[in-house]
Amino acid sequence: MSYSEILQIAIQGIMSNKLRSGLTVLGIIIGIASVITLLGIGEGAKLEAEKQVQSLGVNLIFIRAGSVNASGISQGQGAAPTLTYSDAKAIRENCPAIENVAAQCQGPFQAQYKELNTLTTVIGTDPTYPEVRNFKPERGRFFTDQELKESARVCVLGDAVVDALFVGNERPIGKQILIRGELFEVIGVMEHKGANQAGDMDDQIFVPISTGYATLFGLNAVAGETVKTILVQAKPKQDDQAQFQITNLMRLRHNIQNPDLDDFMIRTQADIMQTAQSITGVFSLLLGATAGISLLVGGIGIMNIMLVSVTERTREIGIRKAIGARFNDILAQFVLEAVILSLSGGIIGIVTGYLASSSISSMAQWTTVVTPLSVILSFFVSLGIGLFFGIYPARKAAKLDPIVALRTE
């Protein structure tokens, strides 16, 4: 028999029981649509994590102070006063792979304007902060090197602080607010950034670090001008060199001989990206495995229906074998039926999954990404399911003894 004749017989066999075939295809549709949708959610989560890391800055390196042990319990990185503003200046002056440096000290303080007040995070930092963190003023400006030298009482507000302190359309720039009872002039408003791993970027006030030492944070009795974090922007493609130079300089300045006794921690943006990708990778794997279970159930459904079909059509198989149909003809017919059912469900499932991902993205405001790889993978998985779960029923049909089959009622 020719392949076109076998294909025609296979299609007739499927169409002879439309409801049963439709329910079989539905299992594959649900499975493939689940794979496309859940992998789309996983890829969206991975993309969102990458955006969050990239929003921290460009070629960014974090240097944090060491930890303090209280009763044998570590208080976490940044608890010990091991970093100073002098360290930040030394990094800027002695590390050639560095583009920009911004030291940072911070604390929670009450900010007040007229009768309104809010508890927010006040950050003392350098004028290079916007370039290092890729976080620019939307209105007004950031403070200058001259204002840093003069310890000027100026501040730049985050978007959430403006909403908390200023009512209606009142312009904050040029107004004076109280921070811990000290007057500061508002010279700028930062762009909206949202929240990330470090907290709410909009619920912050930025002041010159010199002003912070003089009016808000004070000085550490032992170390002097301590900082919690030093943010370093490396030159393009020089992250490793910058990390090497910073590590050696810090050990030299802090008189550290044993690397295991470092009183600081260095993390690059690549480290954070790798951690985020590993977490989202596990998330995507779990989602894919969950969807894979529904695919397995759909495949078992195909095998079940094909076995029922073989039982019901035993006499037909016997007649065909009696008039000359070969083993391969019967085998090809039933395998084709299984593949057609599976591929039909796969194609419809791919379209359904894409539409479901788009709906989730628009209605739930959740980023979803349907990649070509997931579509191609789903197509070949549906083809494989048809072959794998169709071969056993097809072989069972092809092995039937024609005499026994003809006697079947």
More confident residue, 372 or 74: 372
Mean pLDDT, range 23-32, rounded to an integer:
82
Residue ranges in 234-268 assigned as alpha helix (H)? 239-253
Q: Which helix (H) or strand (E) holds 297?
A: helix 269-312
Dihedral sign from CA coordinates of 380, 381, 387, 390 = negative
Query: In whole angstroms, what is the distance from residue 132 CA to residue 126 CA?
Result: 10
**pLDDT for position 41:** 81
CA distances to 100, 113, 125, 141, 170 from 144, in Å: 15, 24, 11, 9, 25
Average pLDDT across the chain, whole number:
81
The band of 221, judged by pLDDT with boundaries at 50, 70 and 90, is very low
Between 161-165, 299-303, 349-353, the lowest mean confidence (pLDDT) is in: 299-303
**Residue 23 host element (H or E):** helix 18-54
Q: What is the mean pLDDT of residues 203-207?
A: 95
The percent of residues in the chain predicted with pLDDT above 70, rounded, is: 84
How far apart (Å, rounded) are the C-alpha atoms in residues 29 and 11?
19
State whether the Cα torsion 399-403-404-406 is positive or negative.
positive
DSSP string, 182-241: EEEEEEEEEPP--EETTEETTSEEEEEHHHHHHHTS--BTTTBSB-SEEEEEEPTT-HHH
* pLDDT number for residue 78: 46
pLDDT attached to residue 325: 73
**Residue 366 predicted with pLDDT over 50:** yes
CA 262 → CA 76, 90, 131, 272, distances in Å?
14, 17, 28, 20
User: How big is the chain, counted in residues?
Assistant: 409
190 neighbors 200 (Cβ within 8 angstroms): no
The pLDDT, as a whole number, for residue 45 is 75
Determine the pLDDT at residue 2. Answer: 64
Note the pLDDT of residue 303: 79
What integer is the mean pLDDT of 172-181?
Answer: 93
Q: Does the global pTM surpass 0.85?
A: no
Does the pLDDT at position 80 exceed 80?
no
Q: Spell out the domain ranges in the chain.
A: 3-52+277-407, 81-262
Mean pLDDT value across residues 389-403: 74
| Mean pLDDT computed over 186-194 | 91
Q: How far apart are CA 108 and CA 111, in angstroms?
A: 10
Say what the pLDDT of residue 74 is.
Answer: 42
Q: Among positive and negative, which fits the CA dihedral 313, 315, 319, 324?
A: positive
